[in-house]
Chains A and B, each alone.
Chain A
Amino acid sequence: INCLQFSSLLLFCFGLCSSWWGGVQMGPPDPILGVTEAFKRDTNPKKMNLGVGAYRDDQGKPFVLSCVRKAEALIASKQLDKEYLPIGGLGEFTKACAQLALGNDSEVLKSSRNITVQTISGTGSLRIGANFLSRFHGGPRDVYLPKPSWGNHTPIFRDAGMQLKAYRYYDPSTCGFDFKGALEDISKIPEQSVILLHACAHNPTGVDPRPEQWKEIADIVKKRNLLVFFDMAYQGFASGDIDRDAWAVRYFIEQGHNIVLSQSFAKNMGLYGERVGGFTVVCKDAEEAKRVESQLKILIRPIYSNPPMNGARIASTILSTPDLRSLWLEEVHGMANRIIKMREQLAAGLKKNGSSHNWQHVIDQIGMFCFTGLKPEQVERIIKEYSVYMTKDGRISMAGVSSGNVGYLAEAIHAVTK
């Protein structure tokens, strides 16, 4: 008898006393959530949570941007209805979202050859993109991720039916970019494969290519005829400047790459729980964009029908109201600056503690995350002995660092690495 017959027999024998779900295994605990759980249980007053990637202010508190509060008040005064959004989302939002990424003068926008749909933040965007590629991309089913990449990239693409491969990216010996390794690996990727690039503030390493390096990458990607999937979850949050952070995306487009792009407003607008994101396909022309749009809707409808209004309404209000937009740019600059300052203070603190290691990478890396270079045993020690919580790969969220605890962090890191 085959497997199906056997399990049917088994179920029959168990009868009504058994359950449909007897064979369902306990899912593995989420590694990052696990860090937060352990942190919560810790009673050490000096404990630090450097796990989760959500911005914190210098008091270690969640930060609701003023421009968000102002936008919410504006929206409340308008007494809008709650009618379903179109499948592709709020029109004012998708327009502003595309403009933010591509720039106001973008030729793509002028010729309407992009389709941008509102998505359930970055994850939702990647998932729709993955589903779209899975259904319509005629090339190989392989998606090439940088090594390492955000942990959730792999299961998202896999669940959508794609296969995962990798190209070298992070160099543990320098805690920097393995430019040579990346170019070598990319040059060998079979034509028409999909390559995923982090637009800025690489997660988890914080290591970004420099502009000259991006140019060479764009070149080799073109030679290999690869389909570029940009993941931009930190525009504005990385350098503090939205145009600077979108430079790679815009450069690739200028060079003729018709990219697909995921955007998230979770971090740069602090709209985490409102789930605001966008997915863009840069097409050959407006006609193709219409066809692609129709297919994206067909993909979206059986997942969640149409997206949530609240966050998109807030984001679009901010982006299209001049003083709110200026305020936002200031605040995002402020968040990025605080992170940069913490990096500088951490590096300085390590030096002050007498560390003999080179901590330049702490300053060179960018965005929310820092790949400290700590080895698993050192991570274990820093958690146990100093109550400094981070993920096993030595990644810390700089957002969890404040002027009040950066000194302690420097001591702790020095203690486990000397």
Chain B
Amino acid sequence: MSVFSEVPQAAPVAVFKLTQDFTNDQFPKKVNLGVGAYRTDEGQPWVLPVVKKVEKIIVHDDRLNHEYLPILGLPEFRSSASKIALGDNSPAIQENRVGAVQCLGGTGALKMGAEFLRRFYNGDNNTKTPVYVSAPTWENHNAVFSNAGFEDVRPYKYWDGEKRGLDLTGFLGDLESCPERSIFVLHACAHNPTGTDPTQEQWKQIAEVMMRRKLFVFFDSAYQGFASGSLEKDAWAVRYFVSLGFEMFCAQSFSKNFGLYNERVGNLTVVARDPDNLKRILSQMEKIVRTTWSNPPSQGARIVAITLNTPELFTEWKDNVKTMADRVLLMRAQLKAKLQSLGTPGTWEHITDQIGMFSFTGLNPKQVEYMVKEKHIYLMASGRINMCGLTTKNIDYVAESIHEAVTKVQ
């Protein structure tokens, strides 16, 4: 007799199952366009040269030990990470109303923000506050907020499948009609999975409505630097909202732009009204951290902190980031060119209009199935591809396969 005999088998997390299937596939020309991790043109993971350098520094520094970090994390990591998001000269930082919580990756930062909001936002433990996530969005957003206790996680219009771009009218419509004080999860740049970001003008419109209707701004920033190659450019939306005076959260991930995926380096930047609010917020964050992981892991935060706070290393890092962003931009240009030269039906402008690691190809589920089963090219059922999975060696095969899928399968 077991206490767990009734535990049902849960479905595997799709994106990891995809990688597993890819790994098990013996087909020599197989391509993995699933999981969102950077790959070199040889199709290999890339540990940033600056990271290798800093790791050596750490290993040889006898003054460093493995003692507990403070509950909120490594101070020099938290402040430099927030500066990256908000800018060196951020007035909010100068006004001492910006704080941060070091978290386990972007996921952990979202989790901490969600847990805090559920306890303290819009009343006392108001689990009924609607949380809006884009349609579509990163598949884990829903679970993060619902597991934090929010009962009402809803989609806001975002992706227009027909025109393959942003449904601004729908988005603004949802902002106007939603309950006041709803929470909105916004992608700071390089929207996952569509790669489609609002323009600056569009962001201004979005901000205006959010301010007027008292909606809570929760940015998810997982690709700063990685999207355009410029840290400043990729942080424009976040900084614009801060300049308008919003009290807001920004969940930052250093998984992609530092290639530190498995060290779980994230930062929840809190922009408060004033230092007193900030102090109280952080004190409550400590309580939440304490019952979840007590204090965060030190290795990744150290790497980032040393890099951001050492001028030559910071320059080298920005260079490494640009290398990654540039390769993605190149693959986008080449994929579009090849599809156009093949005469593949449809328009393919969106491949280069979209930004960041992902592209919403527009392939329907049947076409995706064809790609996976017949061509051994692994992509998400949504038609999302990871541009990093493309290389100069496989791009022809992928372009031809997309052409086949679009022409043969309806």
Contact = CB atoms under 8 A, between A and B. Distances in A.
Nearest to B36: A84
Interface string A282-305: 011000101110110110011111
Contacts of A20: 120-122, 216, 247
Q: Which of the four size classes fits the interface of chain B?
A: 35 or more
Contacts of A26: 279-280, 283
Contacts of B294: 120-124, 152, 275
Contacts of B124: 3, 7, 23
A227 interface: yes
Contacts of B11: 294
Contact of A281 (B4, B123, B245, B296): B4
A297 B13 contact: yes
A275 B293 contact: yes
Task: Report which residue of B12, B65, B288 has the largest number of chain A beta carbons within 10 angstroms of its beta carbon.
Answer: B65
B126 A4 contact: yes
B410 interface: no
Interface of A: 3-4, 7-8, 11, 16, 18-27, 30, 33, 54, 62, 64, 68, 72-73, 76, 79, 81-87, 120-124, 127, 136-139, 152, 155-156, 158-159, 192, 227, 258, 266, 270-275, 281, 283-284, 288, 290-292, 294-295, 297-298, 301-311
Contacts of B122: 7, 20
Nearest to A275: B297
A2 to B, nearest CB: 10
B121 A30 contact: no
Nearest to B8: A291
A19 B277 contact: yes
Nearest to B115: A159
Interface stretch (B100-108, B335-343, B352-360, B384-392): B100-108
A-B interface, 4 closest residue pairs, ranked by CB to CB distance from nearest: A304-B104, A27-B283, A302-B143, A273-B298
B107 A303 contact: yes
B59 A283 contact: no
B375 interface: no
Contacts, number: 237
Interface of B: 2-13, 16, 35, 37, 44-45, 47, 51, 55-56, 59, 65-69, 71, 103-105, 107-108, 111, 120-124, 126, 140, 143-144, 146-148, 180-181, 214, 216, 245, 247, 255, 259-264, 272-274, 277, 279-281, 283-284, 286-288, 290-300
Contacts of B69: 273
Contacts of B272: 19, 21
B59 A73 contact: yes
Contacts of A307: 104, 264
Nearest to B214: A11
Contacts of B283: 26-27
A81 B45 contact: yes
Contacts of A288: 2, 4-5, 7
A304 B7 CA distance: 23
